[in-house]
A and B are shown apart, each in its own frame.
Chain A
């Protein structure tokens, strides 16, 4: 019986790194693949390339154009379960639109599995240099605040499962992790092709005492989304307000609980109106409760009639909400149209939509070196699709924001182009400016 919430992880790497083979291996070895799907693999063109072995990488090829061109275009989601846990894989393609796809997949992931292909590394020096793409993957995982990193050192079979070389890779990654201030990571030697270290370790890596990749994923403990001790109040972005089917005077305010749990009897204030009330009842999909936990989809009844609508916030505090009109945020630029400073966008924050303007681009991340370059002095910094920058953004109305580090629910927002409706940027707030 599965007693955990599903673990969501993103796999970072390109097809050449053996990423698709790794996912195919996880699905195959955990028996998530069905006979007819394996038959389809057998029918697929070029499937028998490896002397009768199925090419497991073909499992993850989704769209017709992708199969024809041997590339992956878009994030795909895969599912498998062990007796202990259900897993959701966000499989982000490695080449085309890289940042865009990885940011999308990473925004909902608990874990990033960063794949390193040892056959692409030069082991002749004592201090080896990892590929630019590994720095890119690590930088994005860090910016998105992913707390658990697994470094899967792949194709160990091609270097005779050499323990010393594995140690060199780990040392090189430690350097990157230090530069990017990443959380602790778990390095694991694997061969996705041969199966070593994916579900079980084999005698090939007998020198490695840690978990296999699957065991590592199974053993990750997901702490509550945010802790009760950061001093933050409960927040609920109002999705929907409905009248009780029986008592027409009773209204129910629905949304997801963020930052801290909320209890019946708690005082709440509405943002932006500031109106106050007490929580009189809480309904969850499992029925009535006295405490709404972080992450639960709830409907809340209040003890008096106050004006609340979609786009408002319910805040579990009697104090006035701290709101900001200007923030510094990391922007992952996703639109094919480059960013023009000064242009207006629609911002989605919580459940509200309002106008906003990117006033100044402060600095830009060089994804190949994982270092920031100052752009404030440039007259017109060019920010294109897949670039990552830090910028000052001005909202038309003050919003109850927080830093992304403290609260994903209040620290993340999305910029949308008002004319094309394209999603232009994913934004993570780093700093709130005084009015």
Chain B
């Protein structure tokens, strides 16, 4: 075993798996694999958006299955906000090396340098600004289909999202003009400069994802499992203490056993208190969870009931 494999495997809890009795995961797996093969077959320049969050890693795992025994026929794209968890970037590099992936990184800092993104202040959350860098990366690489790991159970606006979601030449989502999606006969017709966002795990829930990660032993960045971290209790959230999110005056820094339920931009992603050290523990915690994934962890979605919808219309993932 190489050091790289040891790194990837060290974050994969080895647990007994049962492959026979979970028919519904097989059904979801078949559906996702079919959608991915549709992308491989119907588009000229497809790509997979991969933040190295659990959902995009499940999509990558499914894409490797969909192309097997052939090679993965498309690049993976990471939109790098520059505000990353170091564990996630180290994980990304190991993953790329292990699978021989073609990685394309779109740097938010490049957009800032070009002047296409202007921050209101240096420590502003970069989450919303990702959209610009994403659209610039799509345009520069002339991608006609970009696969993502969004799920319909995540958020209200996403419940109405198509599996093959058409975007105009500005990358905009037009919820009132979506193409009806009939059977599995996807309308993949496209005009120049338009593209599709494709969501193979639309029908998966957070619990399905964790059950699948446990069953398939999918490696995740270590911060998905319990670890000690300095946090601040703010508005009912545990805000991680980082260079970008320092404590405010009068706030107390405490050390907690936490894990992340989602991994996004470091400035807006919060962990939850947890002692779950492997995917099976997380499955049990998820069954007992009383807050939704985004409600528990995202500072940006709390602002407004329609926050996600507005970002999506602009071309956010």
Contact = CB atoms under 8 A, between A and B. Distances in A.
B182 A423 contact: yes
Given A79-B205, A103-B182, A34 B290 contact: yes
A296 B30 contact: yes
Nearest to A246: B69
Nearest to B190: A421
B26 A283 contact: no
Interface string B39-79: 01110000000000000000000100111111101000000
A107 interface: yes
Given A73-B175, A79-B153, A35 B290 contact: yes
B41 A310 contact: yes
24 contacts: A1-B22, A34-B291, A35-B290, A62-B157, A63-B156, A64-B309, A75-B160, A76-B159, A77-B159, A78-B153, A86-B205, A244-B69, A245-B70, A250-B69, A285-B30, A286-B29, A295-B30, A297-B30, A299-B69, A351-B42, A414-B182, A414-B187, A416-B189, A423-B179
B105 interface: no
B175 A63 contact: yes
A250 B70 CA distance: 10
B292 A36 contact: yes
A81 B22 contact: no
A240 B41 contact: yes
Given A62-B160, A85-B24, A295-B30, 11 more contacts: A3-B23, A34-B292, A77-B152, A81-B207, A108-B183, A242-B71, A285-B29, A297-B34, A414-B182, A422-B179, A423-B182
Given A34-B289, A36-B296, A81-B207, A4 B23 contact: yes
B185 interface: yes
Given A245-B69, A297-B37, A412 B183 contact: yes
A283 B68 contact: yes
Interface of A: 1-6, 34-37, 40, 43-44, 61-65, 67, 73-79, 81, 85-86, 88, 100-101, 103-104, 107-108, 239-240, 242-246, 250, 252, 254-256, 283-286, 295-297, 299, 310, 334, 346, 348-349, 351, 353, 408, 412-414, 416, 421-423, 426
A330 to B, nearest CB: 13
Contact of B71 (A104, A245, A296, A349): A245
A166 B37 CA distance: 49
A225 B295 CA distance: 38
Contact of B27 (A6, A255, A414): A6
Contact of A423 (B27, B62, B187): B187
Nearest to B61: A285
Given A34-B292, A36-B296, A423-B187, A244 B29 contact: no
B178 A252 contact: no
A417 to B, nearest CB: 9
Nearest to A60: B159
Contacts of B40: 239-240, 242
Contacts of A73: 160, 175-176
Given A40-B305, A414-B182, A286 B19 contact: yes
A37 B37 contact: no
Nearest to B40: A240
Nearest to A91: B159
A103 B68 CA distance: 34
Contacts of A255: 34, 37
Contacts of A4: 23-24
B181 A104 contact: yes
B37 A36 contact: no
A5 B203 contact: no
Given A88-B203, A414-B187, A5 B23 contact: yes
B125 interface: no
B2 interface: no
Among the interface residues B26, B62, B187, which one has the most CB atoms of the partner chain A within 10 A?
B187
Contacts of B182: 103-104, 107, 412, 414, 423, 426
Interface in B13-41: 19, 21-24, 26-31, 33-34, 37-38, 40-41
Contacts of B67: 242
Given A35-B291, A423-B187, A297 B33 contact: yes
Contacts of A61: 156
Nearest to A411: B183
B191 interface: yes
B202 interface: yes
Contact of B291 (A36, A75, A81, A421): A36
Nearest to B38: A239
A408 B295 CA distance: 40
